[in-house]
Structures are given as C-alpha cells and as structure tokens.
Amino acid sequence: MSSGWVNFGNTCYYFGYENVTFAEAYRKCQQMQGQLVEVECEAEWVFLKTQAEKKSLDEFWIALTDAFNENDWSWINTWRTASFTSWSPGEPNNSNLNEHCVHAVGRIQYQWNDLSCNRQIPYICEA
C-alpha cells in the first residue's frame, strides 16, 4: 500500500491509509493544503474508485455530511449540495439516528453509505 498524491485533470488526490474520524480526515487534508475530497462528476468518481481499488483501499471518507441539517447532504468544504451522488440502494438511512458522514465502501463497488462520523477509516484529500 502506498499513499501519496495522484493527478487527475487539474486536481491532485492524496490517498491516506490511516484510520481516522471524519473530523480528523478533514483536518489532515487541511494540514496538507488540501481538502477532504468532493466528488463533482461521474468521470472523477470512476477515477477515484479505480485508484482506490488499485491501492487496496477498502473504504474511505468523502466530504459529504448532513451533520448540520438532517437529510441535507452537503460538501463540508463548500456547503454546496451534492449534484453527483453514488448512494448504495437504501442509503442514506441514518441507522441508529447517528449516521451523518459519508464513506465509499469497496465491497459494494465503492457505493456511498452514511456512517457515524466517529468511525475510524481511511480518507482521500484533493488539492
């Protein structure tokens, strides 16, 4: 497994393998002069999924959250509503009324799932 920056278009992506909470992932990306990844379109998402699979990243945080307004899924960096999504069927479901952050899950083709923000998993940054 190798972490590091990878280019796609005009953006660089960092694949972090350290298991961290959503807030820690957000801070780590900022410390690297980047931000937690926001997925803008299908082409970007295909690239990220392909890279995650190549790097054996089983799951990872993306910057989507509804922590500040239930069922209003927005990017934490810009507070824009997500125009592109890749939810797993039946998601988001806010299981146990405690799932307010989004991760991509490799075992289901990296479809998105809402998850407790305190779970510790890898992350992807962009700059």
**Partners of 6 in beta bridges:** 13
**pLDDT in the model for residue 1:** 45
Q: For residue 50, give every residue at least 6 positions away whose Cβ sits within 8 Å of its Cβ, in sequence order, or none.
A: none
Determine the Cα–Cα distance for residues 36 and 23; give it in Å rounded to an integer. 10
Determine the Cα–Cα distance for residues 77 and 117; give it in Å rounded to an integer. 16
Task: Give 78-93 as a 3 state SS string.
Answer: CCCECCCCCECCCCCC
Report pLDDT digits (tens) over 73-124. Answer: 999 999 999 999 999 999 999 999 999 999 999 999 999 999 999 999 999 9
pLDDT band at 4 (very low <50, low <70, confident <90, very high): confident
Report in angstroms the alpha-carbon separations of 73 from 16, 19, 39, 66, 78: 23, 23, 13, 5, 12
Q: How far is CA 27 from the centre of its chain?
A: 14
Report pLDDT digits (tens) over 22-50. Answer: 999 999 999 999 999 999 999 999 999 99
Is residue 40 classed as helix, strand or coil in its secondary structure? coil
Tokens found for residue 33: 């002069």
Q: For residue 58, give every residue at least 6 positions away whose Cβ sits within 8 Å of its Cβ, in sequence order, or none.
A: 105, 106, 107, 122
Mind listing the domains of the chain with CATH numbers?
Answer: 7-126 (3.10.100.10)
